[in-house]
Structure 1
Amino acid sequence: MKFFLKHIFFLLLFSGFISGQDSITILKNMDYRLADSLAVHFPKKKYKSITEITGPLTDPLKTPHEKFRAIFKWITENIEYNKSGAALKDADKIVRKNKAVCQGFSNLLKEMCNSVHIDCDTISGYTKTEVRDINKKLKKTDHAWNAVKLYGHWYLVDVTWATSKFNIVSKKFEKNFDEHYYITDPKKFILDHFPKDKQWQFLPKPITAKQFTRMPLYYADYFHFGIEDLSVKKGKFKHKRKKPLTFTCTAISKIDNASILLNYDRYSIDMKLKTTKNPNEYTFDYTFAKKGDYDLTLYYNGLCVAEFLIKVK
């Protein structure tokens, strides 16, 4: 019965009856235990070319999405984000050196996928990683990621950001697999990835560069909480002193407490969460006592989720 249902799903997906958000949700929640296990336990040794890896890694797997997952996971397990690998762009050289930066990561994913007949393209574009990027004019592209074609549909992934997380204390990238950047909803992906070519947004109505730069700076835990509809949409704005500023959102994960940090102060300010009729909705108010320019960082459950620049008049 399980095999029959699986066969029906792939038939519907390939025929176009399942698409958009439904197909993203289904593919993200597939059973990847075998693919992940093969990637994690794949022999650790020196390889001269990607073909020495992709065949043995994916041959035991029957479906395209499992083969893609195994390749994606293998890269996150074996390639280190290291600026000393910035010059490495060729896929075979990257597997020999085991290091790269974003362009190398995306090239490697593309070539490994193509070698097992999975369509995968690299995408160049812009990201926001610091609060000073808010309202900053986009000039030279600063990042690269991928789109993969599975069952006739294109999906967005970022193998670089799925591999490592920047530790602000040690100032180093540390291995930390992030599931969010594997087959990501385009509506969420656009919050921190803006492609140079708008066709890669995969949105019904593509946004402009100005709209992208005006948004807040979103951190990884914003997505991990499953936050939707944060009421403060602009990253930089003016606000009146003594007028409450309201933060409201819905979230999949339970939020027990909220706090804010102002102008990199050492101490955060705890906020009182208000209850609403919707159990998944969270809201609180903050009132500025003094005029001035503020950098406001929003925390939920002690985790940084978003940052704003506010001029209080």
Structure 2
Amino acid sequence: MKSKAKSSFEKKVAFKSAQQNESEHLAQLTGHPAIRTDDDNNSESIETVQDLDSHAKQVPKSFLKSFKNLLGYFERSLEDKKDKHQLLIRSFLKWLGGLDIPDAEALPLKDLKENDSRTPDEYLKLLKKNLNIYNSIFILLCWSAGIKCFKIKGVYKTDGLDNVASSEWAAVNVNEAWQIVHPYRICRALSGKFPQGWFKSKNEDLNTSDVEIFKTSFLDYYINPKPEQFIYEFFPDDTDWQLIPDPITEKQLIKQELCYHTWWETDLRLTSRRQYKITSTKGKVSITLHGTEQSVNDLVLWYDLSLLGSIGETRKDSNIQDHDYFQRSVFLVRNGTSWVCKVLLPVKGTYRTVFYGGKLHKPLTAIFQFSLICKEAYTDPVPLAVDPGCVGLVPGPFARMCGLITPTYKNGAIQLEMNNRLKLKFRVGYK
């Protein structure tokens, strides 16, 4: 590896150290001792992480004339703070995430140098047209603070027909351990969707410059994410920067399922085929997720199925009129501690299915997705008669809210026979 960087062995040892200290680091970020400053221009008290974030979002324009001045603004309340570098990293990103991006013509970006003569103000003018500037400004701030930081170039897994696209992020060294930081993903994210019936997922690219899907947010996940999770989305050109004991290949990245950062918050695990491209059997695909009774019942799960390209026929030829037709070909059923998704593919071709998840009353965000390959269409599929909406199939969090407990059937798909009576019963809770 390059002389500036650590050896593969050293980085792996440092990675283990970072993971061991992760819980301590989170505790320090969410509550730390009060810090007072006698600076006449900044007499505020930094007592909690909320105070730190608020301070970082209020950088006066007068501090944007040089990186030295900008660093001074962030540093002056943290001089005696333990883990100063970790808190500076958070402050840099909090400031970047809250920026009102100026509308200016893009200027050519040269290779970064530690003695770069451009000011923060000049760099901000590049953000509108070149989103990699988030990474560049972050790296320059780290260098100004004496924090070891490297630009990491690589690819990320896309959600379309193309497998990967170029991306870049950073690696920082804090307390002798390397951490991954993805400034753009931290500062800009897709907004979620509330489930009000079937919705169509746009062909959204998290690295896109489409400002319509920007949401001012702060995704802590991408500050020191677990490398074994990060590798499901991003692959560095230099495999040493995977920071995992057993590096994978780009071919393995493409083959494995696409999990977004939100997947790791669901407490679910995929127990069906662990691969991104799934070939159907006679037009039928089954995807199974397992969790705990609490994780399954606390989660609202939804989906979108779209046909990317048909083989030898069109929607018109197959009498498929609209998007909802495909959604009614998916049976997403909650069953005790598992979710079972059965997809009936009515047309030969390539499909994309995106799963969305979120806690009750929260927006749903994409958690993972698959590419479905159908070489033989399902014969005479019987679609769902109605849109079950966010309630889904089978009793879940809404039933518990209403006090309906212990249902007769925990499985949302019940086999019936003609002329037989079906009884559905619940116990009613005390309320």
What TM-score does the superposition give when structure 1 sets the normalisation length?
0.78
Closer/same/farther in 2, CA of residues 183 and 28 from structure 1, 3 Å limit: farther
For 1:94 and 1:230, locate their aligned partners in 2 and report how far apart those are by CA, in whole Å. Answer: 48
Q: Does 1:209 align with 2:209?
A: no
1:2-52 Cα deviation digits (max 9, x unpaired): xxxxxxxxxxxxx98982433234324522334312202232457222111
Deviates more, 1:246-255 or 1:160-169: 246-255
Aligned partner of 2:24 among 23, 26, 29: 26
AA partner of residue 188 (structure 1): Q
Contact 1:231 1:249 in 2 (8 A): no
1:251-281 Cα deviation digits (max 9, x unpaired): 89664333332216247456221113xxxxx
Q: Does 1:258 align with 2:301?
A: yes
Contact 1:86 1:104 in 2 (8 A): no
3-state SS of paired residue (1:204): coil
Q: Does 1:53 align with 2:114?
A: no
Contact 2:15 2:243 in 1 (8 A): no
Residue of structure 1 equivalent to 2:93 = 72
For 1:297 and 1:111, locate their aligned partners in 2 and report how far apart those are by CA, in whole Å. Answer: 37
- Structure 2: state its 5+ residue gaps: 1-12, 31-48, 192-201, 205-210, 308-322, 359-363, 377-431
Aligned partner of 2:52 among 35, 52, 55: 35
Residue of structure 1 equivalent to 2:332 = 271
- Structure 1: state its 5+ residue gaps: 1-14, 277-281
Closer/same/farther in 2, CA of residues 80 and 38 from structure 1, 3 Å limit: same
Cα RMSD of the aligned pairs, angstroms, is: 3.3
1:140-196 Cα deviation digits (max 9, x unpaired): x72110111111100001011111124659745332222211111101111111100
Q: How many residues align?
A: 289
Residue of structure 2 equivalent to 1:147 = 171
AA partner of residue 148 (structure 1): V
- Percent identical pairs in the alignment equals 21
For 2:285 and 2:238, locate their aligned partners in 1 and report how far apart those are by CA, in whole Å. Answer: 39
3-state SS of paired residue (2:186): helix
For 1:171 and 1:56, locate their aligned partners in 2 and report how far apart those are by CA, in whole Å. Answer: 32
AA partner of residue 119 (structure 1): K
Question: Higher helix fraction: Structure 1 or Structure 2?
Answer: 1
Residue of structure 2 equivalent to 1:113 = 142
Deviates more, 1:247-256 or 1:20-29: 247-256
Bigger-Rg structure (1/2): 2
Q: Does 1:157 align with 2:219?
A: no
Residue of structure 2 equivalent to 1:8 = none
Closer/same/farther in 2, CA of residues 85 and 247 from structure 1, 3 Å limit: farther
